[in-house]
Amino acid sequence: MKLRPTGVSEDGTRHYEIGGIPGGPKEIPAIEKREARDWGMTARGPNLIPQRPPQVGEAITVTTDQGNIRIRVAQVRDDGAMIGTVEILNTPSGTAREIYGIRFRDSVIVRGMDFVTLVHTD
């Protein structure tokens, strides 16, 4: 189990989140941050177009070093973390059954928009 501090309220109360509880959302190991690609263009402006946060019911894609995971968002917390259910696991060789112990229909947590590669509005 992991104990992670999530913040302090105005009255000084400390808040924590406990990870690794059976039935709780899983952390995604080796998740990669979304980063700007060097397209070779010389124009000025931001390298990344800011994405809007997903709404409940929409899907997001996150990237790991083994492949992509598509997650259907069930809850967006106040701290920006998104909790959802795994829909698709893709690897370079095709669809996978498991990426880092995460399987189809597992509940997972993504800590912020920095890790979201794509927001699906389907």
Q: Which structural domains are found in the chain, ordered by start?
A: 23-34+55-122 (2.30.30)
Percentage of residues of the chain with pLDDT beyond 70: 82
Q: Burial level of 76, CB count in 10 A (0-12/13-18/19+)? A: middle
Give dist(CA 68, CA 92) in Å, integer.
9
Across the range 18-32, mean pLDDT stands at 80
pLDDT reading at 21 higher than 80 = no
Q: What is the pLDDT of residues 28-84, one digit of tens each?
A: 988 998 876 555 555 566 666 677 889 999 999 999 999 999 999 999 998 889 999
